[in-house]
Amino acid sequence: NSSNVAVGMPNTANEECRAVQVARAFFQASTKLSDDNEDILPQEDGVDQKLSVFHLFSELFPEYANDKDRDGGNTGKSGLMRLQFNKIGYEMYDKEQSRRVPAVRAKPGNPGYGFRRARWRDTMGNGEDRRACETVLRTLGVSQERLDRIRQRISDFREEWNNVRRPSRPAGPGRPRGHKRANPSDPMESIDPLPELTGVLPMLSQGAGVVM
């Protein structure tokens, strides 16, 4: 109603729910759990590189993202903010503090937080990653033209992140660091790339066709 609009709230509960569905689907389509403990994706952007998962989401689905860096601090815009988006990511991945990812408002080299053992899918190949990505995005109702652009941008981020990511144990003196919560009880251990899609597809199909 008009009172909700006046205070900057979403027009309907469905609008907010749809943004959450799209964000969860974006994580499924663009990222996957890795067997390599070195893999991690950043939740924040650095000063020089803006390669966080949220940054790409806000580029590709601006209608569902409220990115103050892109929108000039427009507080009246609906959509998910970075904190809300990252919480959805932590439903799928453990949080890890690491110097491999940038820290917001901190000196370069200070540890930031990221999605543990998450990696970008290889969306431009002809394998399982591309099929998983296309399956989810088509369920959202994404057009083929937009789907192709999304796949290309995921690939761009994947390549650039692989080039700039720092190792967890750089050369030089220092004490070896153990991996945080690397144990068999890790809730992500049992999730495989394609079976993980089964939970999101029925939910998304109820609101399919909204995204162009």
pLDDT at 201 over 60: no
Report the distance separating Cα 123 and Cα 51, nearest Å.
Answer: 17
Contact 123, 136 (CB under 8 A): no
- pLDDT bin (cut points 50, 70, 90) of residue 4 is very low
What pLDDT is attached to residue 77? 67
In this predicted model, which residue has the larger pLDDT, 7 or 210? 210
Instruction: Determine the straight-line distance between the first and last CA of the chain, rounded to whole angstroms.
Output: 27
pLDDT at 37 over 90: yes
- pLDDT bin (cut points 50, 70, 90) of residue 29 is very high
What pLDDT is attached to residue 72? 61
Report the distance separating Cα 195 and Cα 12, nearest Å.
Answer: 32
What pLDDT is attached to residue 12? 56
In this predicted model, which residue has the larger pLDDT, 122 or 196? 122
In this predicted model, which residue has the larger pLDDT, 106 or 163? 163
| 182-197 residue pLDDT tens | 443 444 333 333 444 4
- pLDDT bin (cut points 50, 70, 90) of residue 96 is very high
What pLDDT is attached to residue 68? 78
Per the prediction, the chain carries an average pLDDT of 79
Chain Cα centroid distance, residue 172? 32
Average confidence (pLDDT) over 90-115: 88
Contact 139, 205 (CB under 8 A): yes
What pLDDT is attached to residue 9? 43
| 40-73 residue pLDDT tens | 999 999 888 899 999 999 999 999 999 877 666 5
What pLDDT is attached to residue 84? 96
As given in the structure block, the two tokens for residue 54 are 């949220």
In this predicted model, which residue has the larger pLDDT, 104 or 52? 52
In this predicted model, which residue has the larger pLDDT, 150 or 184? 150
What pLDDT is attached to residue 188? 38
